[in-house]
Amino acid sequence: SQQGEEDPQALSIQEGENATMNCSYKTSINNLQWYRQNSGRGLVHLILIRSNEREKHSGRLRVTLDTSKKSSSLLITASRAADTASYFCATDAVRSTLGRLYFGRGTQLTVWP
Amino acid sequence: SQTIHQWPATLVQPVGSPLSLECTVEGTSNPNLYWYRQAAGRGLQLLFYSVGIGQISSEVPQNLSASRPQDRQFILSSKKLLLSDSGFYLCAWSRTGLLGYTFGSGTRLTVV
């Protein structure tokens, strides 16, 4: 079953603008991860935030985690056309000892030049 | 460095035909291995995972099976494909204690 759900399903912005995507999940987690998928390709790991962390940065990416609300957000600052892709959150449930990840349906981000 | 290979990239198969998709990992040992399926415009559904040779766990009942004959080889199979088996199949690996998956480039399967 899917654990995470991203919102919005689609997001269209101009280059230079910031893009914010949200993820909600259902059960307690060990960590939450964000992945990117270019059309027709495999997923690429972007960033991981542990359940005891509230915010994490990596380059133009900023991830927040609110475990009380069971939600996370991914912010891409100063977006570029090359950021156009689908973005997925994935959670590693607390009860899972085997590192199984459950993915949401993703947010399709389109950045117009 | 670790790499993951998945093939073929695309496949068109008739209903009722068998299926074999292969995934291999290089540069690591004892990886956890996973097969996911992604339907058009949908998220990823975990199909199978394996923590060692011959150890396969299935997430959902389906028309597919998986095998791990060698430490770094993971195979997805079907004896008779259904139309509903069409989709984008992704193999991934991870290491216990290391976080984050590495995905293969995927196989797009179309059952006609």
Average pLDDT (B72-87) is: 95
Distance of alpha carbon A30 from the chain centroid: 15
User: With contacts defined as CB-CB under 8 Å, which chain A residues touch B51?
Assistant: 98
Using DSSP bridges, classify how beta strands A107-112 and A10-14 pair: parallel, antiparallel or unpaired.
parallel
* Count, residues in chain A: 113
pLDDT digits (tens, 9 = 90+) for B19-49: 999 999 999 889 999 999 998 777 888 999 9
Listed in sequence order, the DSSP H helices in A20-96 are none
Looking at the DSSP assignment, which residues form a beta bridge with residue B87?
B109
Whether the link from the prior residue into B14 is cis, omega within 30° of 0, is no
Q: Angle at Cα B61 formed by Cα A87 and Cα A88, nearest 5°?
A: 5
For chain B, give the percent of residues with pLDDT over 70: 95
Q: Pick the residue from chain A with its C-alpha nearest to B34.
A: A100
Between CA A4 and CA A103 the distance in angstroms is 6
Tell me what pLDDT residue A40 has: 87
Tell me what pLDDT residue B97 has: 61
Q: How buried is B58 (Cβ within 10 angstroms: 0-12 exposed, 13-18 middle, 19+ buried)?
A: middle
**Backbone region of residue A50 per phi and psi (left: phi > 0; alpha: psi in -120 to 50; beta: other values):** beta
The reply to whether B103 touches chain A by the CB within 8 Å rule is: yes
Determine phi and psi for B83, rounding to 5 degrees.
-55, -35
Which stretch of DSSP H or E encloses residue A66? strand A61-66
The reply to whether A34 touches chain B by the CB within 8 Å rule is: no
User: With contacts defined as CB-CB under 8 Å, which chain A residues touch B45?
Assistant: 2
Residue A14, classed as helix, strand or coil, is: strand
Tell me what pLDDT residue A92 has: 83
Distance of alpha carbon B10 from the chain centroid: 14
The reply to whether A10 touches chain B by the CB within 8 Å rule is: no
Between CA B88 and CA B12 the distance in angstroms is 12
How many helices (H) and strands (E) in chain A? 0, 11
Residues 16-35 (B) with a CB less than 8 A from some CB of A: 32, 34
Identify which has the larger pLDDT, B100 or B5. Answer: B5
Tell me what pLDDT residue A1 has: 47
Tell me what pLDDT residue B98 has: 61
Determine phi and psi for A79, rounding to 5 degrees.
-60, 155
Least CB–CB distance from B106: residue in A33, A41, A104: A41
User: With contacts defined as CB-CB under 8 Å, which chain A residues touch B44?
Assistant: 43, 88, 103
Mutation for testing the A interface, residue in B3, B44, B50 having most A CBs under 10 Å: B44
Average pLDDT (B48-76) is: 91
For chain B, give the percent of residues with pLDDT over 90: 75
Alpha-carbon distance A10 to nearest alpha carbon in chain B (angstroms): 11
Determine phi and psi for B30, rounding to 5 degrees.
50, 45
Tell me what pLDDT residue B20 has: 96
Digit-by-digit pLDDT tens for chain A (113 residues) are: 456 788 899 999 999 999 999 999 988 888 899 999 998 899 999 999 999 999 999 999 999 999 999 999 999 999 999 999 999 999 987 666 566 888 888 999 999 99
| Residue pair A34/A59 in contact by the 8 Å Cβ criterion | no
| Residue pair B7/B107 in contact by the 8 Å Cβ criterion | yes
